[in-house]
Amino acid sequence: MIHIVQGCSLTDARAASMFEDRKTLFVDLLGWDVPVVGGRYEIDSYDGDKAVYLIATDDGCIHQGSMRLLSTEGAHLLADRFASLCECDAPRGEQVREITRLCLPQRLGAPGRLRVRNRLISAMVDHALGSGITMLTGVVTAAFREEVLAMGWRAAPLGPARRIDGAFLGAFRIEICAGTPALLASNGIYVPGAITPDAAARAA
- Supply the CATH number for residue 50's domain: 3.40.630.30
Count of the separate structural domains present in the chain: 1
196, part of any domain: no
Structural domain including 59 reads: 2-188
202, part of any domain: no
27, part of any domain: yes
Q: In this predicted structure, what is the pLDDT of residue 201?
A: 38
Give the list of residues 6+ apart from residue 144 with CB closer than 8 angstroms, or none.
none
- Residue 40 scores a pLDDT above 90: yes
C-alpha–C-alpha distance, residues 204 and 201, integer Å: 5
35, part of any domain: yes
**What pLDDT, in 10s, does the model give residues 143-185?**
999 999 999 999 999 999 999 988 999 999 999 999 999 999 9
22, part of any domain: yes
Average pLDDT of the residues in 75-83:
95
173, 177, 180, 181 alpha-carbon torsion, rounded to 10°: 130
pLDDT level of residue 84 (50, 70, 90 thresholds): very high
pLDDT over 70, % of the chain: 96
pLDDT level of residue 198 (50, 70, 90 thresholds): low
39, part of any domain: yes
Decide if 120 contacts 127 (C-beta within 8 A).
no
Beta strands in 32-151 (DSSP E): 36-37, 41-42, 52-57, 63-71, 96-103, 135-141
200, part of any domain: no
When the pLDDT of each residue in the chain is averaged and rounded to a whole number, the result is 94
Decide if 69 contacts 8 (C-beta within 8 A).
no
Report the predicted TM-score, pTM, of the whole model to 2 decimal places.
Answer: 0.92
